[in-house]
Chains A and B, each alone.
Chain A
């Protein structure tokens, strides 16, 4: 039997589904919310709905955006000759924070993982090959996490792009083995980008 009224209990359960939020934090947040003004609650609810409705994946690079193609893909000041391949949209944000990269991105949407049933057909590979084949593209940088899956995917991509007339490079091993681009500090990530090497 729950100690909370049903609607509050439901809110706690929904909050607890969010990453990094356990039952305890969910309860704290829910109690804070029901204690705040109706206007504040409506604003939060509206923000959640609006963000989820407006945020889409860029049809070119796969990054999160409100207008398609995204601001990076359409920015004329960014080099169209270099494409940096990442796993998730959040990796784009991590790399942008370094302000070291002036090219464009390509989000794969995952990594090869037979255990999770993720194969080449589940990744945004066709569009990558097409972009790599465009006349002005000269370098593809693979910036995947240095995990077993990240490294295996990098090798797969290097072989896949072997036919294209582009240089394929990989982030230097500045990111510790088993580390996460998301957690790497800007300096480490920036250095790894500067010292990338040919595959």
Chain B
């Protein structure tokens, strides 16, 4: 699949932008703050209905505007589908597919799939668990609309439950309120955890394969570390949703007193981690700079490969990776992702050297305007 045309309205520093893209590599050059990352961010809305840069919906609305819109013509399986996402401050996000308004955001899932690479990826294995959870979540959200629904409902239920815990007092009414939110947390949370466990073996295989290609030596392994007792593991024999639910329920009961005292939810998929192990050690604690970098690239390439596993292609978004990788490494990464499909790449410097036969188009970005070169 590839994006033929992209349209932005009141998104970040763009008032109105229409772009015709190339099926191969699209290269965006421009100074700091000109609006390069914003283009990739807009594309991420068409894939997962949210910012892969991690911004909230109101943050990406152009200052002073009531809302934003992102639209794209996406070529897949020989047809062109036109999708649009609109957001109004204080309101909901709406999705339109081929001119028809959809009932829910997850109707967007599968039309476009993206894998996002950026310099911060090197923190993937070094930093805290949230980036690693995001890797699992954003992959699953693009593969399974039910997962996207479960995840967004889980987040909502979690916030509601935390609020209920915060105002909890030791009486029946208060307990009844916390308990309806516990039930919702269990319902969506067990779907989220079970989904992650099902993905794990596939992702781990792809990641190990790329890692072996790049580094040769030790095997890179993935392991899910859960705050839910009994779920931790490699996912080779993944627990069912019901099994997760009953373990999750046990864990919630164990921390019940603590949660009511501290006023927030202590266990659940929002506190789980994806452990990355090199050989038989946790990479996070002993990895060298180079080992982290290689592992991060293997993880991201693994994600892209899993997203492309049905052969429908994945659009690769490469944000400023040349600042982190030397020219040689950037070129070989470009070669690898070039095989996956269309790429959109940004840099403050000039265009990278491409292998012969790769199609490309260059754009210059300047203060919210994009010109084809």
Contacts and interface: CB of A to CB of B under 8 A. Distances in A.
Given A22-B66, A120-B177, A151-B184, A178 B152 contact: yes
Interface in A116-155: 119-120, 147-149, 151-153, 155
Interface in B65-87: 66-67
A64 interface: no
A148 B173 contact: no
Contacts of B116: none
Q: Is the interface of B mostly helix, strand, loop or mixed?
A: helix
Contact of B104 (A113, A119, A148, A179): A179
B192 to A, nearest CB: 13
A114 B177 contact: yes
A15 to B, nearest CB: 13
A148 B180 contact: no
Interface residues of A, number: 24
B160 A148 contact: yes
Given A114-B163, A115-B160, A176-B103, A147 B153 contact: yes
B240 to A, nearest CB: 19
A74 B152 CA distance: 42
A180 B105 CA distance: 12
Given A115-B163, A156-B177, A178 B66 contact: no
A82 to B, nearest CB: 24
A112 interface: yes
Contacts of B184: 148, 151-152, 155
Interface of B: 66-67, 88, 101, 103-106, 146, 149, 152-153, 156-157, 159-161, 163-164, 167, 173, 176-177, 180-181, 183-184, 187-188
7 contacts: A115-B159, A149-B156, A176-B104, A178-B105, A179-B104, A180-B103, A183-B101
Given A156-B176, A178-B153, 6 more contacts: A114-B164, A115-B159, A148-B153, A152-B183, A178-B103, A179-B104
